Amino acid sequence: MTAQAKKLLVKVTHQRVAVLAQVTVLRVAHQCQRMGRLEMAEQVPKMELQNPLNQEKIQSNIL
């Protein structure tokens, strides 16, 4: 495998991890909403975005 192919594989893997993390957040928020915990459902995505490590990951995967 060439160096360029490895770089592309790493980038795709990171993007997939970021998408899976976002899906997980949405699932947790949806579950809270289904259980009638509307205030918690609204806070879950905000908590995820406020985490500095997650912000860096999301921004680096968008670029």
Tell which phi-psi region holds residue 36, choosing left (phi > 0), alpha (psi between -120 and 50) or beta.
Answer: left
pLDDT per position as a tens digit, 2-36? 989 888 888 888 888 888 888 887 888 788 778 77
Listed in sequence order, the residues at least 6 apart from 41 whose beta carbon sits closer than 8 Å to its beta carbon are 29, 30, 32, 33
pLDDT given at position 2: 92
pTM equals 0.51
pLDDT reading at 63 higher than 50: no
pLDDT reading at 56 higher than 80: no
Residue ranges covered by each domain of the chain = 3-62
Confidence band for 50, pLDDT divided at 50, 70 and 90: low
pLDDT given at position 30: 81
